[in-house]
Structure 1
């Protein structure tokens, strides 16, 4: 696990180097209120609740009230990374359907979006690939590594 964490931290550092739109932006601070699923978070920023979609990633969802395979595990992992009450920093990449913030979330300098993909809890969201241009390669590499190791959603 320590080796995986070291690899993820290295990838996160590289990701920051190639995230020009993020590096130039100022991070915003928020407190997590709840985890909706493996790629959706409700947080409080200055007294206002906002729903955020983790940018560039897609985790299993609930469809018609039933979880897709691995949806509960993915949600639980995100909850363990950023539980309710956690202070996080995020970069706002814009707004998508339902008024959700498209966000890259960090806790203690750890890129949570990338962490979820590297652990096989989510995949690169190809529909938003153009929004994620500068990070798509890092996410794609993390996804390939998780898939080849049979982690999370990639288990046989």
Structure 2
């Protein structure tokens, strides 16, 4: 039982311990699901968009906790995530999928480069670094040609 209480505290959800799952918000359910998975102390943890229903503070705290536990427990954490800046900040290794195949794999800073972002996501980007040295991706614009898009829309009418 101590491991459950520690995990609830680590995720800041100890107040939810006595509540029915059906009475929780989507974000609260997501945190409870993560806690349930982590208390089992898996060697491999597979998560699909674990931060999608969470506010910014909980997103950071969950990803930070997952990194900490992965290193402490020698646990492999595999997660699907669409937030490129979260991948840059927290991932040790990334795999970028595009059109059903692996487009690139490697360290986040090497893989999540402007050329790949343009090819896969259709946006012009640049990599910047915050005052603490963490990388973040700035999206400057879409590469979609607005004139071509307007022509396609007119042709569809």
Fold shared, TM-score > 0.5 on shorter chain: no
- Calculate the TM-score normalised by the size of structure 1: 0.29
Q: Which structure: larger Rg?
A: 2
Greater percentage in helix: 2
TM-score by length of 2: 0.29
Q: Which has the higher contact order (CA 8 A, sep 6+)?
A: 1
